[in-house]
Chain A
């Protein structure tokens, strides 16, 4: 089955700096790659996603890049703010709508004011 690895496990940045989280996946059939943000005591919330027919997607301060050849994708957060502090998960899914997500191990991001 699919295996998703995520690095780093923790990331501390100064407010205003950029944060980058990287993930690799094992199954070349995966074609949907969402990123979730999870705050303490809450369920994961989708912040951005990308499909295999797109190399990059941006939404305000958040961007995701995908390299299908290398089977890795990354989350970039620019101009970080204290409210960006949370645990971020990447995930991968194979095939059509409704297929299960395989998650990475998570990255705890701390933005220091």
Chain B
């Protein structure tokens, strides 16, 4: 069964550094998402992306965050200047264009900010 893959599985970065999290969505999917989960808390929506532009973003997704689909397969989340509170699991998800669809999630990248 096709799946969403995320790399790296664990990223350790110094505060203030830029970080890029990478995702390869399921190949025929057209809608892409990023969520995050701080340890012990709920999964929170960050941003949705369709047709090469952001569809919706949450309050968490401020100017330090950006997303990009640089080619036909990758979907990236960039944090420009990381803060301690950015430490979390980041999940990428994708969904297809059928009417009754569900989001399929990767297993996440654990981001640790030192």
A and B physically associate:
no
Interface residues of B (CB under 8 A from A): none
Interface residues of A (CB under 8 A from B): none
